[in-house]
Amino acid sequence: MHRLDKDSTIYNFTLVKKVRHRPLPLLLYGLLLLPAAVLWAASTSVYVLASFAGGLLLLPLLYSALAALYTRLLVPDQRSPWSYGWRFPWLGLLPEQHVPLRIVILIHHQLLWIGCAVVCCLYPWIGEAHWSALLALHIWYLLPRYWIFFMLRHVKKPGLLKINAADTSYYVQ
């Protein structure tokens, strides 16, 4: 029989809710961006496609920088490392281990409002069509994450979120 060391710590987590990242709805959600970009370009200007392309590249970088800054400055006791994730809906800087749901929601509220502020500050220089395209992309990126938070809304106990490639799981201790 294996003996535990006197300094061992045992964590018991109970899975409360698992939100699966289904490939077909995510693919359809991703493909929704193509007709939107074409309609936007047809109704305003072809150059709006440059805003869509730039937003597709720059917004995840903005989110990653803001999440890294937020975790470093405002959550210094966070022990789990964060790394860059390449899978939609969690594209950007993600925790590798369990992280409190409260922290993830706070980070995403900051991403939502700071991202809106940054895009709104660009309005005088880029014009209404480009501005609305960037704002739509900003909401498009964050909407699936907020959908996951919406799916977890009935959980009353504070717990931990684990983001995997195929699902997002919520555990309580």
Cα 76 from chain centroid (whole Å): 20
Number of residues assigned to the chain: 173
pLDDT at 78: 64
pLDDT digits (tens, 9 = 90+) for 112-134: 998 899 888 988 888 888 888 88
Q: Which of 151, 138, 22, 145 is nearest to 90 (CA)?
A: 145
pLDDT at 113: 93
pLDDT at 4: 57
The answer to whether the beta carbons of residues 158 and 102 sit under 8 Å apart is yes
pLDDT at 130: 81
Question: What is the mean pLDDT, run by run of 10 residues, along the chain of 173 residues?
Answer: 58 82 86 82 78 82 85 71 80 83 88 89 84 87 91 84 87 84
pLDDT at 112: 92
pLDDT at 2: 60
pLDDT at 8: 52
pTM score: 0.82
